[in-house]
Structure 1
Amino acid sequence: MKIVKCNWHRKGYTLFFIILILFFIQGCSLRLITKYDEKTEEAIFVSTRMVDQFYGNLFETDEEKRQYAKYSEKYVEVEAQLNELVLRNKVRVLNKDSTDIAESILELWRKYKARHKEKDTYKTGVARLDKKRFERIFSYAVRAEGAKKPTENN
């Protein structure tokens, strides 16, 4: 008859180390997004303010006096700011969602600019809808950047 020795003490050490590793892993977090950047958040607010001022000035002008030429310089200024926002997001690794949001904002800005240039007017109802759309998208951008802020746990 063969006697089988069971090395329970070795199995006990293995189990102990597995449990110890699990406790360490539980305290760690895996981050698959970029870190919060205060300057990017500030750039979002600056861009928001510029777009808001653009529409504020537009609403202060009578509809029949809203020719594209009066606003072309402001379009260029805002577009430059939005290009900066897109670039700021693109150069940060693991930042695809925020980059997509910034690119959407820029794409909309260019679309509305082209429409204004083509029609050479900007109807109040259309402008209100466009402004509301920008407000929603900028809100998403701010929340996306704010979600990257470190919490107490990480």
Structure 2
Amino acid sequence: MPLWRLLAAGLLLSLLCACTGLKLVADHDAEAAKGITETSAEVFAFYDKLIDARAEPGSAKLAYAGYAADWGRIETRIRVMEVREAARPLNAESQRIARTILEFWQKYRAAHQKNGDYPAALAAIHRDRFQRLFTAALVAERAKGLATADADPGKD
């Protein structure tokens, strides 16, 4: 096949692809971003409560029973966030982040329940991990809201 035909076919294919409106990521969802922010605030408040309780002079173990309602309420919020992300098409990165947040939450909850205590050093480390994860979730959501000119270098 002559070179000019290959180039013409390539050009035609490029033009057809440009006109398809191919979409690779979900649209920005302001409600999802709000849910992420509200859930992260609850997680941070929970960890601050654990850290403050441990810092009190003469503090005893942080028994799971004293925090069970908080663990359950926040896990429900995280599950709702995960369901919301899973229901949106073309949303794999946000789904993965939400699933990771839930898995860490369940892991830390089970350890607290099993050990009957939550060490202060771990509480600070875990809070910081959740901060990184929730930040990643918000960044992923914000990226979906980029203007077309900012999201597609080919349209510049």
Please give the range of the TM-score, normalised by the shorter of the 2 chains: 0.7 to 0.9
Aligned-pair CA distance for 1:29: 5.7
- 2:133 is aligned, of 128, 133, 137, to 137
In structure 1, how many angstroms separate the alpha carbons of the residues matched to 2:86 and 2:21?
A: 24
Task: Name stretches of at least 5 consecutive residues in structure 1 with no aligned partner.
Answer: 1-14
- The alignment status of 1:89 with 2:81, answered yes or no, reads no
- 2:40 is aligned, of 40, 48, 59, to 48
Aligned-pair CA distance for 1:64: 2.1
Equivalent pair of 1:89/1:95 in contact (CA under 8 Å): yes
Aligned-pair Cα RMSD in Å: 2.2
In structure 1, how many angstroms separate the alpha carbons of the residues matched to 2:95 and 2:119?
A: 30
Question: Which consecutive aligned stretches of 4+ in structure 1 deviate over 3 angstroms post-superposition?
Answer: 27-30
In structure 1, how many angstroms separate the alpha carbons of the residues matched to 2:38 and 2:66?
A: 22
TM-score (norm 2): 0.79
Instruction: State the percentage of identical aligned residues.
Output: 30
TM-score (norm 1): 0.80
In structure 2, how many angstroms separate the alpha carbons of the residues matched to 1:104 and 1:83?
A: 11
- The alignment status of 1:124 with 2:116, answered yes or no, reads no
Find the residue that maps to 1:64 and give its secondary structure. coil
Output the amino acid matched with 1:43. G
- The alignment status of 1:58 with 2:50, answered yes or no, reads yes
Task: Name stretches of at least 5 consecutive residues in structure 2 with no aligned partner.
Answer: 1-7, 152-156
In structure 1, how many angstroms separate the alpha carbons of the residues matched to 2:20 and 2:107?
A: 45
Equivalent pair of 1:64/1:121 in contact (CA under 8 Å): no
